[in-house]
Amino acid sequence: MTTHLNTAPPPANLNSSRRQKLSERIAGSLRQDFLSGQFSVGHKLPTESQLALSFGVSRTVIREAIAALVADGMLETRQGAGIFVIGLQRHQPLDGPILRQDRSSNISHALNVLEVRIALETESAALAAARRNPSQEAQIQENFFEFDRLLQLGKPTGQADFAFHRSIAEATNNPFYVEVLDALGERTIPCDVNSPHATEEVLSFAYQAGLQREHLAILNAISAGDAACARDAMRAHLSASQERYRERLRDRRTRYQSGVETT
Site residues, DNA (CB under 7 A): 1, 3, 5-11, 18-19, 21-23, 45, 47-49, 56-61, 63-64, 66, 77-83
Instruction: Figure out which of the listed residues 62, 75, 128, 163 binds a copy of itself, where binding follows CB under 8 A.
Output: 163
Contact 74, 41 (CB under 8 A): no
* C-beta of 229 vs 238, nearer to a copy of itself: 238
Distance separating alpha carbons of residues 79 and 90, to the nearest angstrom: 23
Neighbours of 210 (CB within 10 A): 14
Amino acid at 99: L
User: In terms of DSSP H, where are the helices of the chain?
Assistant: 22-35, 48-55, 59-72, 97-104, 107-131, 134-153, 158-170, 175-184, 200-203, 205-224, 227-257
CB of 197 to DNA, least distance (A): 22
CB of 256 to a copy of itself, least distance (A): 26
- Based on the shown chain and the rule CB under 8 A, indicate whether residue 187 belongs to the binding site for a copy of itself: yes
187 binds, among a copy of itself, DNA, none (CB under 5 to 8 A by kind): a copy of itself
Instruction: Figure out which of the listed residues 2, 7, 17, 263 binds a copy of itself, where binding follows CB under 8 A.
Output: 7
Instruction: Figure out which of the listed residues 22, 76, 223, 240 binds a copy of itself, where binding follows CB under 8 A.
Output: 76
- Based on the shown chain and the rule CB under 8 A, indicate whether residue 208 belongs to the binding site for a copy of itself: no
SS3 (DSSP) at 71: helix
Instruction: Figure out which of the listed residues 30, 168, 189, 227 binds a copy of itself, where binding follows CB under 8 A.
Output: 189
Q: What angle do CA 175, 151, 153 make, to 5 degrees?
A: 125
